[in-house]
């Protein structure tokens, strides 16, 4: 059994689709649109991200987040450098021998972790 999709409430589906395409490798060519306003996009690993338009995404809980594991600490540092250069809000950053990670916020305040662990 494998986790294969995540549904996120978002204020602007197009904006969120661009964000996840730009920073997290989701392919806009895979976009499937549904009558209820949901757009599902897929990344190279076959993971589906369902973006559902809503006026109220709710208040994010402090620990609630989802993550992307990268192959090397340097890969995390590269993504972090790009995120910082583009002005993304970085809310945590760790760079230790046993883990390199950072958390940022998406346009709707959802917490995303990018990490590497040996």
Domain residue ranges of the chain, discontinuous segments joined by +: 1-56, 59-118
Q: In angstroms, rounded to a whole number, what is the distance separating the alpha carbons of residues 113 and 20?
A: 13
Q: Is the pLDDT of residue 2 over 90?
A: no
Q: What number is the average pLDDT over the span 50-74?
A: 93
Q: What number is the average pLDDT over the span 2-15?
A: 95
Q: Residue 97's pLDDT is what? A: 94
Q: In angstroms, rounded to a whole number, what is the distance separating the alpha carbons of residues 47 and 2?
A: 10
Q: Residue 104's pLDDT is what? A: 98
31 CB-contact burial (10 Å; exposed 0-12 / middle 13-18 / buried 19+): middle
Which superfamily does 59-118 belong to? 2,3-Dihydroxybiphenyl 1,2-Dioxygenase, domain 1 (3.10.180.10)
Q: Is the pLDDT of residue 78 over 90?
A: yes
49 CB-contact burial (10 Å; exposed 0-12 / middle 13-18 / buried 19+): buried
Q: Residue 6's pLDDT is what? A: 96
Q: Is the pLDDT of residue 61 over 90?
A: no
Q: Residue 60's pLDDT is what? A: 84
Task: Give the CATH number of domain 1-56.
Answer: 3.10.180.10
Place of tokens 């661009």: 18
pTM recorded for the entire structure:
0.92
């Amino acid at each position: 059994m494998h986790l294969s999709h995540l549904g996120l409430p978002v204020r602007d589906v197009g904006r969120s689709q661009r964000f996840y395409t730009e920073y997290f490798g989701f392919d806009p060519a895979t976009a499937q649109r549904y009558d209820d306003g949901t757009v599902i996009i897929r990344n190279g690993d076959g993971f589906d991200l369902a973006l559902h338009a809503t006026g109220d995404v709710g208040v994010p809980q402090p620990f609630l987040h989802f993550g992307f594991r990268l192959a090397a600490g340097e890969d995390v540092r590269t993504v972090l450098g790009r995120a910082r250069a583009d002005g993304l809000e970085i809310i945590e950053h760790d760079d230790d021998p046993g883990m390199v990670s950072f958390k940022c916020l998406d346009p709707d305040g959802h917490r995303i972790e990018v990490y590497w662990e040996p």
